[in-house]
Amino acid sequence: MRFGFHVLLAPVAIVIGIATGAPDLGAAEQLANPLLGNAEAQAEGLRIYRTRCYVCHLHEGGRGPNLFATKLNDEEFLNVVIQGRMTMPAFGQRMSPDDVWAVHAYVKSTSKYQ
């Protein structure tokens, strides 16, 4: 599912900026998930979560942390999924920024989100 070129452009610009050493955005200029509140994106996010994320993150954390209690802001969530972390592989080659935003929209839409 693709939500439009404009939705994809901002996250790609952020990832390119990070990769090239561009300065960080200020707290007031943090990238926000453009798909929050979008029911279609949430449904797609649930589908992606079940196929890509559930094996490690389960319903409330497993081998990976509980995504429903994450303290990551929207931009940090995107960057962690695309670039990976110490114990999490990078998904930048397997998931588009739109896919990551959809998963994030799903996670934040649930009653489990704290």
pLDDT per position as a tens digit, 73-104: 999 999 999 999 998 999 999 999 999 999 99
CA distance 112 to 114: 6
- pLDDT (0 to 100) of residue 30: 86
CA distance 88 to 28: 28
Element at 30 (helix H, strand E): none
Residue 114 lies in a domain: no
Q: Which CATH number is 81's domain given? A: 1.10.760.10
Domain span including residue 96: 5-109
Q: Which residue has the higher pLDDT, 73 or 25?
A: 73
The pTM is what? 0.75
Q: Please check whether residue 66 is in contact with residue 76, taking contact to mean a CB–CB distance below 8 angstroms.
A: no
């490690």: which residue's tokens?
56
Structural domain total, the chain:
1
